[in-house]
Amino acid sequence: MVLETGVSLGIDFNGKVKEIEEVIARRLGREEKMRVIRSLVKLHKPTVLLIQETKLKVFNRSVVRKLGGSWLTRGVGMDAEGAAGGLITLWKEESFVAKACIMAKSCIILAGQLVNLNREVMDLPLHGLNFTWSNNREREAWARLDRFLVSPEFMLWLPNLIQKGLERILSDHFPILLGETKKDWGPSPFRFYNSWIENKVLMNEAMKGWKNCKVTGSKGVVLRSKVKASKSSIKTWLLMHKRTVEDSKAIEAQLGLIDKSVAQDGWTELNRIQRWRLMEELWKSLRREEQLWCQKTRVSWLKEGDRNTKFFHLMANGRRKVNTIGEISIEGVACSNPEEIKDGIYRFFKNHFKKDV
């Protein structure tokens, strides 16, 4: 998309268009392969992951995150030489503590200690207070001593769980309430994903909605009405042709059956053709998925909207708890009602931008 846009704008690439296309293709292929490995990690949850022939020129923390997700959070890697070689070893931090590492061109040697302890608990964000104890003396001391620690599985059962600090009466400690909170913040905003642009049928539906919208008035009114009509057409089409995450999994399952058949009976012309077509479909599906997740990176979502993302359910729940506004003070009065919070924030910024700079 970037290359086509540049060409349409008349940008001169000095005859390097083919080289640029090859670089983009290699980059997309690498990201898609990383996503496949990450899916396997998420499915099988290994303690250690070993990868050879990575062909990665540079190994860094970003590679660990893309391959291991939230499960394999530590790793070392040997950079590739040119377009060949490269080794990566990732491991689960809670299961192994590395104390020494030796790396050579053809091997990685790790020395450390295996840990067989289940310590997976989470400290929930504390709403309403920063501290849970003070000494009640002239020279004040404040600390957060008291807290609820819950397991990730417990969080999956109760995703809206929070701990809230209450007012203390006589004790040095503040009471803490553990409970669920459910607040209706209204409908989620409509988000347009870049991968939709490659779907010609969907784009045709959007254009039909745009062209069929006949509205008179100012240019602003016309534009708003046409955008709204296009959005409605996109929503209708998506409801009728809803794609699911199971698409890639279904293709992978079919490829697995073909591979088993080949292992037993050998190749035939039919299964060659079937496998080639399935691989093509899988690459397309993974590319669409990769584009979607590129758009859902944290930096993009800070600019474009809220991030909807166990790295998904669990981590999204945890991040939402940190980012959620549970209560604000409006003119000295604590408010927790969503409508009051939205109204208070709106009035604050409205008054703020009225002030002279």
CA 229, 8, 200: angle at the middle one, nearest 5?
Answer: 40
Q: State yes or no: pLDDT of 1 exceeds 50.
A: no
Q: State yes or no: pLDDT of 177 exceeds 50.
A: yes
> CB 294: neighbour CB atoms within 10 A?
13
At residue 300, the pLDDT reads 45
pLDDT digits (tens, 9 = 90+) for 321-340: 556 677 778 887 877 788 88
Q: pLDDT band for position 312 (50/70/90)?
A: very low
Separation CA 194–CA 256 (nearest Å): 31
pTM to 2 decimal places: 0.35
| Beta bridge partner(s), residue 111 | 100
pLDDT digits (tens, 9 = 90+) for 223-240: 989 999 999 888 888 877
At residue 246, the pLDDT reads 52
At residue 293, the pLDDT reads 63
At residue 154, the pLDDT reads 79
At residue 310, the pLDDT reads 45
Pairing of strands 176-180, 161-165: antiparallel
- Strand (E) or helix (H) holding 165: strand 161-165
Q: State yes or no: pLDDT of 150 exceeds 70.
A: yes
Separation CA 125–CA 176 (nearest Å): 12
Contacts of 115 (CB under 8 A, 6+ apart): 94, 95, 96, 97
Mean pLDDT of 10-24: 54
Highest mean pLDDT among 16-20, 73-77, 105-109: 73-77
Q: State yes or no: pLDDT of 185 exceeds 50.
A: yes
Separation CA 272–CA 9 (nearest Å): 42
Separation CA 5–CA 60 (nearest Å): 31
pLDDT digits (tens, 9 = 90+) for 89-111: 899 888 888 888 888 878 888 88
Q: State yes or no: pLDDT of 197 exceeds 70.
A: yes
- Strand (E) or helix (H) holding 180: strand 176-180
In sequence order, which ranges of 169-268 are alpha helices (DSSP H)?
Answer: 200-212, 219-240, 246-265
Q: Extract the tokens encoding 10.
A: 């008349």
Please, are residues 112 and 98 in contact by the beta-carbon 8 Å criterion? Answer: yes
Q: Extract the tokens encoding 228.
A: 């709204």
Separation CA 81–CA 243 (nearest Å): 40
CA distances from 288 to 16, 52, 309, 327 (A): 26, 26, 17, 39
Mean pLDDT of 138-167: 82
At residue 291, the pLDDT reads 63
Please, are residues 86 and 80 in contact by the beta-carbon 8 Å criterion? Answer: yes
DSSP type of residue 195:
G
